[in-house]
Homo-oligomer: A and B are copies of this chain.
Amino acid sequence: MRIVLIGFGTVAQGLAELLLSHLENGALDISDWRVVGISDTLKGSAYHEGGLPLRRVLDMVGCGQSLSSVADWGTPWNALTMIEHADADVVVEATYTDIETARPALDHVRAAIERGMHVATTNKGPLALAAKELTKLAAEHHVSLRYEGTVMAGTPLLNLIRGPLAGSRITEMRGILNGTTNYVLSRMEEGLDYSGALAEAQELGYAEAVPNADVLGHDALAKVAILAATVFGASIPLAEIPCRGITGITREKVARAAASGRRHKLLGRVWRENDRVRASVGPELIGREHPLAAVHGAGNAMTVVTEALGEVTIVGPGAGRRETGFALLNDLIHIQNHR
């Protein structure tokens, strides 16, 4: 299986490290996998039909050297040129997320599918804005489109729904989809005020300097849209999903909730109501005895409500280099098993 990596930031490097580790210890049979191309606007581009030397590539990128500078396999190709010219089976799209336009990732995913290549991506943009269109396009071209890492990083929520929970009839999903806000709320329960907890999250690298995407709920919103499309086949414009963040939660509210045995959690929610699919993002009060209430710090969790099983909850990491890289690895395993 020949793989092209579009975008070679943290997540794609996490994948490359996992691939190297598995190639070395042989626990997973991926000996015929080759990363033949890499294209990154900052780190340069490389292409070699026989496969690129991943260890050396990682070392170069670690030292700030451009991949394009290598005589044997450096290229000047940008992402789209790489997708057009590479002789490959799968494109991994892991460039930055733009939740307004989904560009340029959306163009990359479309181009790859139209060339008949499978796609694995961690990029929330294309799926939050165009999951339905892309799923249809992939079906028309008989290729797989996998995006486990767009929701809950490598915690296998989407694969759980599509595989082991198939046939259980999902009626609702609700969960903690943003680790930064969950960290802030957890620390507020321990006595910090909002700005103190947020500053701490920023120091730890959980929150950006401009934390709006997290604290206003926009990150969770994108994931909720992806779930609506994946679980219920519903294409809901982001602007139509009610979305509140955690900026209105005060230390006093947190203390009052605790006194009544409850916790504030920023919940993303998708459910069926009569014939419509509805979705929302906002802080909700949860009884302390529910599994979602037990998710502390930067963790993520999702409760899937099914007719056959009642509630099933999965708890796991929601971010991280290796954790999100693993989502791509699992997508690639699925593509290999089903192509």
Contact = CB atoms under 8 A, between A and B. Distances in A.
Contacts of A28: 166-167
Interface string A312-339: 1111110000110110011001000000
Given A164-B160, A168-B154, A313 B312 contact: no
A188 B295 CA distance: 24
Interface string A165-197: 111110000000000000000000000000000
A64 to B, nearest CB: 27
Contacts of A301: 291
Contact of A316 (B154, B290, B296, B313): B313
A160 B155 CA distance: 11
Contacts of A329: 167, 308
Interface in A9-55: 18, 22, 27-28
A275 to B, nearest CB: 14
Nearest to A156: B164
A329 B323 CA distance: 31
A309 B313 contact: no
A30 to B, nearest CB: 8
A310 B314 contact: no
A234 to B, nearest CB: 16
Chain A interface: which size bin?
35 or more
A314 B165 CA distance: 12
Contact of A156 (B160, B316, B317, B323): B160
**Is chain A's binding surface mostly helix, strand, loop or mixed?**
mixed
Contact of A309 (B289, B290, B310, B317): B317
Contacts of A27: 167, 169
B313 A314 contact: yes
Interface of A: 18, 22, 27-28, 148, 154-156, 159-160, 163-169, 289-291, 293-296, 301, 308-317, 322-323, 325-326, 329-330, 333
16 contacts: A27-B169, A155-B312, A160-B160, A160-B164, A167-B333, A291-B291, A291-B294, A308-B323, A308-B326, A309-B317, A309-B322, A309-B323, A310-B317, A311-B316, A312-B314, A315-B315
Given A18-B167, A309-B322, A313-B316, 17 more contacts: A27-B167, A148-B164, A154-B309, A156-B160, A156-B312, A160-B164, A164-B330, A167-B329, A167-B330, A290-B294, A291-B291, A291-B294, A293-B294, A308-B323, A312-B314, A313-B313, A313-B314
